[in-house]
């Protein structure tokens, strides 16, 4: 199995969990009662954290794609050279 899978899977799981948490938090904040300033600040911090995780995930995917292209190119060159 490709070792890169072991890097991408945890990031995907964390990202999915974080998105779910943000969605639930948004549902709570749309209730008629106003959230406290502390809750609002914590929610905003959580949203920034999720955005950071999504950015890291996208960058990791780009690196993985690049590595896969390099490995594929090297494999093809060896096959042609043989």
Q: What are the mean pLDDT values of the chain's consecutive 10-residue runs (82 residues total)?
A: 61 75 77 80 93 95 95 87 66
Domain count for the chain:
1
* Exposed/middle/buried for residue 14 (C-beta within 10 Å: 0-12, 13-18, 19+): middle
Full residue range of the structural domain in which residue 23 is found: 4-81
């Amino acid at each position: 199995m490709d070792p890169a899978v072991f890097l991408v899977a945890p990031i995907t799981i964390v990202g999915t969990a974080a998105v779910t948490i943000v969605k639930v938090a948004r549902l709570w904040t749309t209730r008629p009662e106003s959230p406290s300033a502390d809750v609002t600040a914590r929610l905003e911090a959580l949203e920034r954290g999720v955005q950071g995780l999504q950015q890291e995930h996208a960058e990791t995917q780009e690196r993985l794609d690049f590595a896969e292209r390099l490995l594929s190119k090297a494999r093809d060159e060896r096959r042609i050279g043989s």
